[in-house]
Amino acid sequence: MQRHRGIGIPFLLVFVVFLLNQADILAAVIRVKPGGNDANSGADWANAKATVTAAISAAAQGDQIWVAAGTYTERIASRVVGELAVDVALYGGFAGTETSLGQRDFLTNATILDGSNAGPVVSITNNAGPGTRVDGFTITKGTAGISLLGSAPTITNNVIRANAGQGIYCVNYRILGVSPPNVAFPTITHNTIADNAAGNGAGIAIVGTQDINFLPSSAPVIANNIIVRNRAGQNGGGIGSWGHASPVIAYNYIAANTASAFEISWDSDSSVGAWIVGGGGIFSTKSDMGGQPVQYAIAAPTIINNMIAANGGWLGGGIALVAYPYEPLVPPDKNPPPVVTNNTVVANNGAGIYWQNSFPVLRNNLVAFNTWGLEQDTVSLSYPVIEYNDVYGNVLKRAPSDYKGIAVPRAQTQAPRPRLEEAGRISTASPE
């Protein structure tokens, strides 16, 4: 009997590579430039479309849209087919002659999306995933710069400024499957987010899912951004996080942002207390945006290697961590702490780090020249871990104010004092 040989592994590898190459070939590039025509195909610069909206309408899954320098007065939204978004990558910063993505220079070729204060400039919805990309734009004059609803796109290399609302507003995230739930979170990197004004979370606002029993805590990655001069009327000048949300906040430069400067009112529920807290640089809470406790929510941000300087807030000029309510009976793995480590927190108007009804891990931070250094609310339950921090030079009315609401840690090993420019060094280089 003649034997037939099976398909070997090398053949399978070649076949997979072939399929991947075919996918790249099938993905189209649609070009947009001032003076184009939306009736054009966008297949080359000579046949470019005139608007980003028209290019999105023509795009298929995995396509790229290249947008030449200029000002586009339009509000754009992700394309939705049925009930799902089509993942399309938008790239700005072209001169209008390039033949490859690597030739663009988004620092020189300003590509501006102007929302004319009529709504969010960019809206991404309906389960858009990491393949949806906004890269290399100036996004301005919206009621929000970028609004993310139930999606997990890649937001990178943009200038998001002068919006009459949050620079980035992020609610929920992408669900990839339901048994078990697999999710993807937004990735926000290498952006400049500046001069936005909102009631809460002026630079970036994160609102966690309400389906706590079903989905994990929302964990967008916010890294290597410059977040400056944003103004919140209540909480979270630079970054604000609410409810079932545990963002990763790393290697950012967060400076000159402001939140509420004073207490407005006390909630009638004494367990909530004064909802107007502050958090000029970073604010995180287990409550929703209206100040109502979200039971069993996990609010455990990881705040690491950031420079947090010259921000202002009524409580927590640099960082404010508020966990309403504290739930001591919840197992530790279901109630993890906020982690604040290796940050430089300097020259903030208000406490460098403030916490209330919380049990943060504060380790290896430099906290200097703030109104207060480390401040713990004196009437709430708090069980912090405070180790290896360098807390010095904090002064209020010419009196030392390194610690408020807590005793000076005994036998705490102080880390060596680095030069400030080294302690807060971050990478702002764009990914290749």
Q: What is the mean pLDDT of the chain?
A: 86
Split at pLDDT 50, 70, 90, the class of 265 is very low
Closest CA relative to residue 369, chosen from 393, 396, 400:
393
Question: Where is pLDDT greater, at 116 or 2?
Answer: 116
Q: Residue 336: what residue type?
A: P
User: d(Cα 315, Cα 319) in Å, to the nearest integer?
Assistant: 9
What pLDDT is stored for residue 174 in this prediction? 86
Range in 104-118, 127-141, 220-234, 270-284 the model is least confident about: 270-284
User: d(Cα 129, Cα 310) in Å, to the nearest integer?
Assistant: 35
What pLDDT is stored for residue 23 in this prediction? 41
User: d(Cα 220, Cα 172) in Å, to the nearest integer?
Assistant: 10
Summarize the confidence of residues 382-397 as an average pLDDT.
92
pLDDT at 17 over 50: no
What pLDDT is stored for residue 13 in this prediction? 42
User: d(Cα 406, Cα 397) in Å, to the nearest integer?
Assistant: 19
Summarize the confidence of residues 152-172 as an average pLDDT.
97
pLDDT digits (tens, 9 = 90+) for 123-159: 999 999 999 999 999 999 999 999 999 999 999 999 9
Residue 78 φ then ψ, to 5°: -65, 145
pLDDT at 119 over 60: yes
What pTM was estimated for this model as a whole?
A: 0.87
pLDDT digits (tens, 9 = 90+) for 189-223: 999 999 999 999 999 999 998 778 778 899 999 99
Split at pLDDT 50, 70, 90, the class of 365 is very high
